[in-house]
């Protein structure tokens, strides 16, 4: 291949782009793509109470179809840098592996996509038969407000239309080629608040202990399944993650008790329908005798699914040819920026192996970088065939 994914990944890893800092990562991508004929746009988005975030959109070609490679250059903090075998922003190679924060999640994937695209262009007169775009954000590891959602809106307002998207998140579980993510569950956080009446423990008849009501509602909400799953998703589930009374006095019945919870849900629900369902179940369990309320945290983590079809078939065949493995089409795991992209075009996630992402000594085998680049190249060649 004419473009080296290892060199590209190394240069990206040397940019300490911890969310929301750009730290040269997008500047490097801009320079690399412009040199190959891409039109590149850099834009910063912000809103009150949030950090401003730099983003990048690049395109070569004007015709349809437009194949988009999406990803993020921001990374989580490295933690204790002394615990790393190699400095987290050095991009060092040792034992056949490239070390650095973001090696897997997901600067390595971006490097492979860039290398594959440049190689394709080099073998096809410098232009695709349609268009190839890059949609790169610096806000995926953060609150995802000033990144991909606003970048997609900006692109739409400027007449950009996408036909299909490959998101280079680390989709594989154990080895390259074992998993393609075709969907992600939604995520919703909430607080259940039960109000009672404060009083002395020696005179419980004068008080109303909210802990009794909280325990009853917690039990009721976890007793009944939210659903039985769907064609592409496992059953949704609600998990309580903390209970807080805020009472350090042993002889005082508190006036309020709270419990925090998270729901990971499938395509049988929307964020609003799920809130309604939980509130109705709590009301039924209370029997009108427990004074409760819910506080819902803002969420943009809805469900997305790309059903099996031509896009998944194309990616699966490329993966099988290079790795010899038939990838599983999975909807497991947390959320990703695919939840925003799906509103604009079909999207699948395929990247590196996620074993070391967010860990000390995050690293990727050099062989995997080269293999992923080859897979992406096959996808591009066949897409425009």
Q: Please list the active-site residues.
A: 74, 140
**DSSP strand pairing (131-137 vs 186-195):** unpaired
Q: Which of 42, 72, 79 is nearest to 57 (CA)?
A: 42
Sheet holding 256-265, edge to edge: 237-244, 256-265, 186-195, 291-296
Region of residue 219 (phi > 0: left; psi between -120 and 50: alpha; otherwise: beta): alpha
| Residue 321: Cβ within 10 Å count | 12
DSSP output for 161-202: --SEEEE----BSSSTTSEEE-EE-EEEEEEEEEE-B-EETT
Using only the alpha carbons of the chain, give its radius of gyration. Answer: 24
The residue behind tokens 């956080």 is 189
Strand partners, 132: 60, 67
The encoded tokens of residue 341 equal 């992209």
Contacts of 112 (CB under 8 A, 6+ apart): 5, 9, 168, 351, 352, 369, 372, 373, 376
**DSSP helix/strand/coil, 26:** helix
Q: Are 143 and 45 in contact (CB under 8 A)?
A: no
Backbone angles phi, psi at 283, to 5 degrees: -60, -40
Q: Are 217 and 285 in contact (CB under 8 A)?
A: yes
What's the maximum distance between 2 C-alpha atoms anywhere in the chain? Answer: 86
The encoded tokens of residue 35 equal 């040199």
d(CA 210, CA 193): 9
Contacts of 159 (CB under 8 A, 6+ apart): none
Q: Which helix (H) or strand (E) holds 157?
A: helix 148-157
Q: Are 110 and 11 in contact (CB under 8 A)?
A: no
């Amino acid at each position: 291949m004419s473009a080296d994914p290892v060199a590209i990944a190394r240069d990206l890893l040397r940019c300490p782009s911890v969310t929301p800092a750009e730290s040269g990562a997008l500047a490097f991508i801009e320079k690399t793509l412009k040199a190959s004929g891409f039109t590149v746009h850099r834009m910063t988005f912000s809103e009150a109470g949030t950090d401003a975030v730099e983003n990048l959109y690049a395109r070569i070609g004007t015709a349809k179809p437009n194949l988009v490679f999406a990803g993020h250059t921001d990374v989580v903090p490295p933690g204790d840098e002394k615990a790393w075998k190699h400095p987290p922003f050095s991009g060092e190679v040792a034992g056949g592996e490239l070390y650095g924060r973001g090696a897997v999640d997901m600067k390595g994937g971006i490097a492979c996509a860039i290398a594959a695209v440049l190689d394709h262009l080099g073998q096809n007169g410098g232009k695709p038969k349609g268009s190839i775009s890059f949609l790169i954000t610096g806000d995926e590891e953060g609150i995802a407000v000033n990144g991909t959602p606003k970048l997609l809106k900006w692109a739409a307002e400027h007449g950009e239309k996408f036909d299909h998207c490959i998101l280079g998140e680390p989709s594989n579980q154990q080895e390259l080629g074992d998993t393609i993510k075709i969907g992600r569950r939604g995520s919703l956080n909430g607080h259940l608040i039960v109000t009672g009446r404060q009083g002395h423990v020696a005179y419980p008849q004068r008080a109303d202990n909210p802990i009794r009501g909280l325990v009853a509602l917690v039990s009721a909400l976890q007793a009944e399944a939210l659903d039985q799953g769907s064609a592409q998703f496992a059953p949704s589930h609600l998990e309580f993650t903390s209970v807080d009374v805020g009472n350090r006095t042993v002889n005082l019945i508190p006036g309020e008790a709270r419990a925090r919870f998270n729901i990971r849900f499938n395509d049988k629900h929307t964020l609003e329908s799920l809130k309604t369902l939980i509130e109705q179940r709590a009301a039924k369990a209370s029997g009108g005798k427990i004074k409760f309320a819910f506080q819902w945290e803002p969420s943009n983590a809805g469900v997305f699914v790309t059903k099996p079809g031509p896009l998944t078939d194309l990616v699966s065949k490329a993966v099988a040819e290079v790795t010899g493995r038939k990838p599983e089409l999975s909807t497991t795991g947390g959320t990703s920026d695919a939840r925003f992209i799906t509103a604009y075009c079909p999207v699948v996630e395929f990247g590196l192996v996620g074993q070391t992402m967010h860990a000390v000594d995050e690293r990727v085998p050099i062989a995997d970088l080269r293999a992923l680049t080859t897979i992406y190249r096959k996808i591009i060649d066949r897409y425009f065939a």
